[in-house]
Amino acid sequence: LPKAYEGSEPSVWVEYIQLALDHKPLNLGQGFPDYPPPKYVTDALIEVASNRNLHQYTRGFGHPRLVQALARLYSQLIGREINAQSEMITTLGAYEALYSAITGHVDQGDEVIIIEPFFDCYAPMVKYAGGIPKFIALQPKNPDGTAQSSADFVLDKSELESLFNSKTKAIILNTPNNPLGKVFTLEELTFIADLCKKYNVLCISDEVYEWLVYEPNKHIRIATLPDMWERTITIGSAGKTFSVTGWKLGWAYGPANLLFNLQMIHQNSVYTGCTPIQEATAIAFEKELSRLTSEECYFHSISKELQPKRDFVVKFLKETGFKAIVPEGGYFILADWTPLESRVDLNSETDVYKDYRFTKWMTKNVGLQGIPPTAFYSKEHKHLAEGFVRYCFIKVYDNFKALEEIYQGTL
């Protein structure tokens, strides 16, 4: 491998998707719904598929109908007119938006601040660009280290400020956060924004779970804070927005001078996204744009539907002996499994980190898969997550019933 790629290893997704294929557990690991997306979304794709004119290349920086719809939506949400041509790009999933944003801005030796736990691809992407990741972990604010909710995890303000210096190019923010489910508050975002302005730092804001926020929490787009539009690239995903993770369609928006850099990376690596998927997503957005304030709007109904599922799984985990952290957003729950340790044979697995051993043992012996959250931490902070497991709860109730049966039978 070229130097920047040295030390790359297959990610947790590669390993755990294979593990699920091999053992066929109840899969609460990788994040995806196990039920169909809204019918009008799949109907849109059927309609598009039968249109003879929508099967060739489309505009490279984004299919015109889709960038128009995205610009209309985010202009309303951000409170400023977004130019569909120059301030918006569509990408192959949020992954490619992250990749283009990072490689489009990070130079050799630049420092990039990453908040832990982080979606695992951020750090390798920074390194591929020649940058140096600087990590800061969210920590429980209670002195005894206990946490009931993701809101109990906070950043130490002076530690955060100490990471900013003249070499800092960017900070990567993820709200709602995967895997913790933390939804950053206005006060927290203001603190981050003020540091970005003070040290002239770019903010890459991964907001793929923007519609998955549970009452009474509110999703705040950092680009809406004073003087932040100029220095923020915000990233979204159709996979999360419409429950179609297999469509692999993402986007990024921000000021034209920053978006230009993403467009250049995209133009020379991917060039253009999938036409029918973009057209169908445009149709889906147009429908939601016409009912944005109604309760039926999927952007509102999805979290209303998910909240009881979240509560069900949290309650179940607590009754089973886990110490679950209630997420304010996203569709994952982090739970401390160490109270169950005596009932698990950790020695049957050889992985360095205990959460890998726990989740592998559970997959093979109990038939339940979760994700080991040390995958979302830098080496120096992995010890913070070894006692936890991440479970995904965007699943049908029948699968939660199966979960209960699994536990009654085995643990």
Q: Any idea which residue has 């997420």 for tokens?
A: 327
Does the protein bind ligand PMP through residue 392 (CB under 6 A)?
no
Does the protein bind ligand PMP through residue 185 (CB under 6 A)?
no
Partner interacting with residue 30 (select from ligand GLN, ligand PMP, none; CB below 5-8 Å by kind): ligand GLN
Side-chain half-sphere of 196: how many Cα atoms within 13 Å? 28
Contact yes or no for 93/250 (Cβ under 8 A): yes
Contact yes or no for 120/377 (Cβ under 8 A): no
Closest CB to ligand PMP among 95 and 337? Answer: 95
The footprint of ligand PMP on residues 85-144 (CB under 6 A) is 93-95, 119
From residue 124 to residue 163, the character string flagging contacts with ligand GLN as x (rule: CB under 6 A) and all else as - is ----------------------------------------
Among 4, 15, 20, 30, interactor with ligand GLN by CB under 6 A: 30
Copy the structure tokens of residue 184.
């950053």
Q: What share of residues in the chain are helix, strand, coil (percent, to 5)?
A: 45, 15, 35
Contact yes or no for 364/277 (Cβ under 8 A): no
Partner interacting with residue 13 (select from ligand GLN, ligand PMP, none; CB below 5-8 Å by kind): ligand GLN
Does the protein bind ligand PMP through residue 243 (CB under 6 A)?
no
Single-letter amino acid, residue 75: S
Copy the structure tokens of residue 215.
């009452």
Partner interacting with residue 378 (select from ligand GLN, ligand PMP, none; CB below 5-8 Å by kind): none
Per rule CB under 6 A, count of chain residues that contact ligand PMP = 13
Region class of 169: left (phi > 0), else alpha (psi between -120 and 50), else beta: alpha
Does the protein bind ligand GLN through residue 31 (CB under 6 A)?
yes
Q: How far apart are CA 116 and CA 157, in angstroms?
A: 14
Minimal CB distance residue for ligand GLN: 31
Let me know if 71 is exposed, middle or buried by CB neighbors in 10 A (0-12, 13-18, 19+): buried
Among 27, 90, 91, 178, interactor with ligand GLN by CB under 6 A: 178
Site residues for ligand PMP per CB under 6 A: 93-95, 119, 174, 178, 206, 208, 237, 239, 245, 248, 250
* Interacting residues with ligand GLN (CB under 6 A): 13, 30-31, 178
